[in-house]
Amino acid sequence: MERLLFLWDELDDWTGIGRHLALSAASELAVLAGPLLSAGSAVAVWFMVPQAHVNAALLGLTATFWGSYRKRVYPHA
């Protein structure tokens, strides 16, 4: 019985490690998703509205910078 409890404890530790790694990877991808989506929408505006090239470039740069800056300075926001 003691051996079974030991194996159960080890299994629980390994699943906890796997869960932690999966959640960490998901949160890192979520941090990158916002700025990348902003840049993608700016590229779409660039190609779809030719007279708004400057506005699209400013939108993409500002949104990407602000998204990255905000997540780096306030990581729990």
Q: How far apart are CA 8 and CA 14, in angstroms?
A: 10
DSSP state of 76: T
Mean pLDDT in consecutive groups of 10 residues from the start of the chain, 77 residues = 88 93 85 75 77 76 72 63
pLDDT at 43: 78
The tally of CA atoms less than 13 A away on the side-chain side of residue 77 is: 9
Are 60 and 42 within 8 A, CB to CB? yes
**Residue (of 68, 69, 42) closest to 54 by Cα position:** 42
pTM: 0.47
pLDDT at 2: 85
CB atoms within 10 A of CB 36: 13
